[in-house]
A and B are shown apart, each in its own frame.
Chain A
Amino acid sequence: MKRRDFLKGCMACGAAATLGVSQKAWGIGSFEGYPEGMGVLVDLTRCVGCRSCEAACNKEQQLPAPDAPFDDKSVFEEKRRPTEKAYTVVNRYETGKEGGPVFRKVQCNHCNEPACLTSCFVNAYTKTKEGAVIYNSKVCVGCRNCMIACPFNVPGYSYSSALNPVVKKCIFCYDTRLKYGKPPACVEICPQQVLTFGHRNDLLKIGRDRIREKPERYVDHIYGEKEVGGTSWLYLAGVDFDKVGFDTTMGNEPIISNVKDFLGIVPMVLTIWPALFTGFHLLATKNKNHEDGHSEQEDSKP
């Protein structure tokens, strides 16, 4: 093989390899959320488990009719998670504390640096400036990496569809409400004012005020302020968060931080390996015939 041919081959293959990753460095900086981003403060101490938020969500998002009606309390027997048919669910936790059980609403927390977004290889997710994490079903291939990545186990998938299965998750009522500055359907309907809609920065202040005013009522922590890089939905609770289904072990780094180490290695491998291994080749085959790599004879035959 002539050196020029080899270089040509290397360049071609290298270029092909680089195409895939040349823009890898995007979007892996630290991001604290859009300054004007909206959010919802969920005060678990106020929730009575009426499930009207589930009903409102179902109607707003035009989801299929539920298996059990929304006033059926037997659903609390087990811990549910958001599915393709229900973007939000309320779970009941017996904590043994006086004042009865604690109810917790689950839905997409709309992370500042969403794991679903950073894991998606077709960029189907967008974090809007209003704070919502929305999803473009037009480009979704259905790899379901976002469901693997989501630390809160939120996205559902319409497995039953043969031709157009898509990810189903809470989108903060972005299309119908948030875009126009209106609160999502669940917030509007809540009879107990469990849910407070507002700018995320203001909600943090409100949360801190509530904790300061009634320290006996609240645990001194706003869940979502810092967890996995911060979320648009924030929680106040009267009991330890890990007792009511929150994962308190995931730290404050966004999920993408775990992957940055590897992403940093990619361009290094791409640039160092060609010279390294070509060098090995030259070293290993010194005094041997470079041209005749193979035992078959037809190589240099006409």
Chain B
Amino acid sequence: MNRYIAKGVKTVDSHYKVPGKSKWNLQEKLLLGLSPKQYLIQALRNPFNWLLAVIFAVGLPLIAIRFIFGLASVTHSSYDYPWGLFLCFGLFAMVPLSSSGFMLGTTVEIFGRHDFEPIERLALLNGLLGYLFAVVYLLVDLGQPWRLPYPMVVAYGPAAVLFLVGWHVATYLSVQVCEVSVAFFEWIGFPVGKQGVRKITLGLTVSGIILSTLHQGALGALFNYAPNKVHPLWYSSAFQWLHFFVSSIPGGLCMVIVVSTIVMKTMSWRCDDNFRNNLDKLTIGLAKGASMGLITYLAIKLMGVAHDNKWEYIATGWGAWYIFEMGIGVILPLFLFAWAIRRRQLGVIRFGALLTVFGVVLNRLNTAMITFNWKLAEREIPTWQEVIISVTLFSIYIVVWRFILYRLPILYTWKTADERATTPARGYVTGGDQVPSMAGSYRSRMEDGIIRPARQWP
């Protein structure tokens, strides 16, 4: 893509191919403003696509086998470990990393920190896709996935935590679709839809907080059903749901840091100045938030051990593993953040964020799989097919990520409004007296240094 831009190819960032005159059509929008041939060439030139092709060539047939011949044909299918890699990684580890949607939504919409706006949409999309693919992993793992709507329409088990998880993830997914749809409406050119969503933004955000609190916690509370199976160091009768909820906060924030780092490295052409220039500052802001989450998490984890007086387990082999998880995934990032935020060492912050993400994933794998059934001699080892299917689903996740980021105004600002505003006749006639006031508010915030002028203002 960089090569094309260097040659002067114009990317889609507004409805207008030529300002005020010709519009992009849908095909051009989908192809990023390239001709089909150009698009194909750039896709084939990308070595990452070839890697994906290899993964899909092996993984997709395996997924087909799973649905044609049943779970037993590809998974370990253990009776003692009914939840294998699909759920332990795909559901339990993906969901906490997706808390970014509600975290940044809260920051911007509830607390009015509009300086975080350049990264808000990325965080919302990270939340949406994380949940969406958690459900995809779930569908692959469920014995009868076509019955997934049953708890909503056919049979109710309201005393079950999973009932709550199911309802909340479904509701929250719809909330997130609404939140992200703003970007889609801009791209497709449907301002009415966008305004409709804007009107209920605060309601959506508050319900996002409620639903996130509850189902992030509920995923932890699921393990309260297995007090004798989860290792005591990863189990807390009183705080299990809080451990899951609180760890999801640094998990989600750090996931945004990781994702934003990746997009800056791999698709910088798609990021506008507003995103690019603010990213370092915002990364530090996110890291500060993550540090507070991490220190709280560390404290309540230790309280969990103290509350049930389980210190003796620390001295065992499992204890060493526990110390490893906390050391690499919580304490080390804390030190890195503390050191690097002061010195504005962004590389170190990003590395710390990666460690935090690793720590959250490891914690979920430990709770759900690695230390699960610690009293049994046999440990769960996923089959190679399970690993490949998990990798394949993750690759699909990356492809969808990339597809959306390339197109929708997530990393860049859609220019519709500006085009109109820069056309004085149109803007003043239709906008009436609102235009000057809007411009004024925009300017005042520009002067505060909150928003950098990303584009030429008349």
Contact A1 B199 (CB under 8 A): yes
Cα A11 to Cα B286 with chains together (Å): 31
Q: For residue A263, which residues in chain B have a CB less than 8 angstroms away from its CB?
A: 159, 161, 221
Shortest distance in angstroms between B257's beta carbon and chain A's nearest beta carbon? Answer: 22
Q: For residue B75, which residues in chain A have a CB less than 8 angstroms away from its CB?
A: 159
Q: Is there a chain A Cβ closer than 8 Å to B370's Cβ?
A: no
Consensus secondary structure, chain A interface: loop
Q: For residue B204, which residues in chain A have a CB less than 8 angstroms away from its CB?
A: 9, 13
Shortest distance in angstroms between B364's beta carbon and chain A's nearest beta carbon? Answer: 14
Q: Is there a chain B Cβ closer than 8 Å to A107's Cβ?
A: no
Contact of A26 among B144, B158, B165, B375 (CB under 8 A): B158
Contact B210 A23 (CB under 8 A): no
Q: For residue B73, which residues in chain A have a CB less than 8 angstroms away from its CB?
A: 160
Contact A17 B211 (CB under 8 A): yes
Q: Is there a chain A Cβ closer than 8 Å to B289's Cβ?
A: no
Q: For residue A81, which residues in chain B have a CB less than 8 angstroms away from its CB?
A: 79-80
Q: For residue A10, which residues in chain B have a CB less than 8 angstroms away from its CB?
A: 202-203, 206-207
Cα A207 to Cα B441 with chains together (Å): 82
Contact A164 B171 (CB under 8 A): no
Contact A26 B206 (CB under 8 A): no
Contact A139 B147 (CB under 8 A): yes
Q: Is there a chain A Cβ closer than 8 Å to B148's Cβ?
A: yes
With A17-B211, A143-B162, A270-B210 in contact, is A259–B224 under 8 Å at CB?
yes
Within B91-150, the residues touching A (CB, 8 Å) are 106, 108-112, 114, 117, 142-145, 147-148, 150
Contact A147 B79 (CB under 8 A): yes
With A13-B207, A141-B148 in contact, is A255–B227 under 8 Å at CB?
yes
Contact with B along A17-42 (1 / 0, CB 8 A): 10111111011100000000000000
Q: Is there a chain A Cβ closer than 8 Å to B164's Cβ?
A: yes
Q: Which of B28-36, B318-326, B392-400, B413-421 interfaces with chain A?
A: B413-421
Q: Is there a chain A Cβ closer than 8 Å to B382's Cβ?
A: no
Contact B441 A23 (CB under 8 A): no
With A141-B143, A145-B222, A292-B441 in contact, is A281–B110 under 8 Å at CB?
yes
Contact of A162 among B69, B167, B175 (CB under 8 A): B69
Contact B225 A258 (CB under 8 A): yes
Cα A82 to Cα B72 with chains together (Å): 17
Consensus secondary structure, chain B interface: helix
Contact B241 A285 (CB under 8 A): no
Contact of B228 among A12, A24, A162, A249 (CB under 8 A): A249
With A20-B171, A278-B206 in contact, is A148–B159 under 8 Å at CB?
no
Q: For residue A266, which residues in chain B have a CB less than 8 angstroms away from its CB?
A: 164, 214
Contact B442 A20 (CB under 8 A): no
Q: Which 5 pairs across A and B sit closest by C-beta, in order of nearness?
A: A142-B143, A9-B203, A20-B167, A13-B207, A9-B200
Given pairs A6-B203, A160-B70, A301-B435, 19 additional interface contacts (CB within 8 A)? A1-B199, A1-B202, A7-B203, A9-B201, A9-B204, A12-B200, A13-B206, A17-B168, A141-B143, A147-B82, A148-B222, A159-B71, A249-B228, A258-B237, A259-B161, A265-B217, A273-B206, A273-B213, A296-B417
Residues of A within 8 A of B (CB): 1-2, 5-10, 12-14, 16-17, 19-24, 26-28, 81-84, 115, 118-124, 136, 139-145, 147-149, 151, 153, 155-157, 159-162, 164-166, 247, 249-250, 255-256, 258-259, 261-263, 265-266, 269-270, 273-274, 277-278, 280-281, 284-285, 288-289, 292-302
| 16 examples of A-B residue contacts, CB within 8 angstroms | A2-B199, A9-B203, A13-B203, A17-B167, A17-B168, A19-B167, A20-B166, A83-B79, A122-B156, A136-B155, A141-B150, A141-B151, A247-B375, A262-B161, A281-B110, A294-B198
